[in-house]
Chains A and B, each alone.
Chain A
């Protein structure tokens, strides 16, 4: 039995290593492309900064709940714009090349990972810009940062497939927005609810149930992307 299963095991191990390598090089390709077209990411960050500034000059004083809700809405719209470009702005012919060298599932895994990374950068920059411009009512700083990072990951995971769908339909950013906004609403509500605990001086009852629900929604998004993307890509 071991003698028979060993080549099988080493075979699947080789495939696994090849998969990791492919995902790694697809991820690095995303980073390199982003670096070559720096204007795209700087555009998104400028969009974030401009929105934060707009809020700063529009409000004289904010209630803590308003502060939180506005923060999430700013982050949400930045996320739609940032993730939309992952499929919509890429040249169609280039996808044909990717799929001829890698399995579509590896392509979507690389895209998901890359979007998570970009969204985390945007989220962290967003927190710093927003808290410096508008006085922060946050008491639990570590907890709030953790929720922001979790929220950025959730946005990235949910929007990547929406971007792929919108790119297939008409290469249209407006379509991306109307698909994404109702789609993200349950996640957004959970995030606002979870981050409200960061306003408390003591968190007496930790919101495990909401956190678990958010994490399970993320798991569902990843599973659906892995299952459904291979059906989506072929023209």
Chain B
């Protein structure tokens, strides 16, 4: 029974994902111009961005926590969240690109939303290049945390504010048909909201696994005291010049 209470959200995740995939392909959809059957991509493409944004929010919270606590576990959670966020971002890009090929006729178009996504991916790939360029664990964690907060502060305007300044080709923008408040479709709502929850839970699940693997690796390499920030001897004045 206690196993159930530990794993209930993972069970929920599996059930909701099965529901998303089955209902996503079989639910009746409204007949809209341009979109037609491709509107079903709403259940797969859009939740990817929800999951990515949430993972990046988690990572920035843990980066701030690291700067206060100096506990390497917080850094591991932050970098794992970025990693999983990046994975879902790439999944969102791929599902969007194959949809765009069918609907707009091109893999990539000059659209403000695509631009925001590209900026996000470039930023967080640069974050990993930056992490890879440092050997010292504490220094890497500190510089990465500072960078993560800076990047988040520019990423949010890039994906939420700038696209709203200009028109987008995306459904719901610039007079394009979409599933929205005025052409409300209840059947789709009943799949869309569970789909968002399902993919977000999946992202959280993957993130905890990635973080736990890294924590085990670090504990094996650095000994049992590596996560005990208070016991660690901090660099004295003599070490600062290094």
A→B interface (CB under 8 Å): 92-93, 96, 158, 161-162, 165, 168-170, 172, 175, 178-179, 181-183, 185-186, 189-190, 193, 209-210, 213, 217, 220-221, 224, 228, 231-232, 234-235
Residue from A165, A220, A235 within 8 A of B147 (CB atoms): A165
**Chain A, interface SS category:** helix
Tell which of B153-161, B187-195, B203-211 binds the partner.
B153-161
Stretch touching chain A among B19-27, B33-41, B72-80, B122-130: B122-130
- Give, as a whole number of angstroms, the nearest-CB distance from B208 to chain A: 27
Bound-state Cα–Cα, A213 to B157, Å: 9
A35, chain B: closest CB distance, angstroms: 27
Which residue from chain B places its CB closest to the CB of A92 in the assembled complex? B241
B239 — nearest CB in chain A belongs to which residue?
Answer: A235
Contacts of A178 in B (CB 8 A): 126, 129
Whole-angstrom CA separation of A193 from B112 in the bound complex: 13
Inter-chain contact B133/A170, CB cutoff 8 Å = yes
**Are the C-beta atoms of B162 and A182 separated by less than 8 Å?**
no
B165, A209: Cβ atoms closer than 8 Å: yes
5 of the cross-chain contacts (CB-CB < 8 Å) are A96-B240, A96-B241, A182-B122, A185-B115, A231-B145
- B242 CB-CB contact with A under 8 Å: yes
Main secondary structure of the interface of B (DSSP, over half): helix
Q: Are B142 and A231 in contact (CB under 8 A)?
A: yes
Contact B133 A235 (CB under 8 A): no
Q: Of B143, B153, B157, B241, which contacts A93 at CB under 8 A?
A: B241
- Give chain A residues whose Cβ lies under 8 Å from the Cβ of B123: 182-183
Contact status A235-B240, CB under 8 Å = yes
Other than the given A185-B158, A193-B165, A235-B139, 7 more pairs (CB < 8 A) read A165-B130, A179-B126, A183-B123, A213-B157, A224-B150, A228-B149, A231-B142
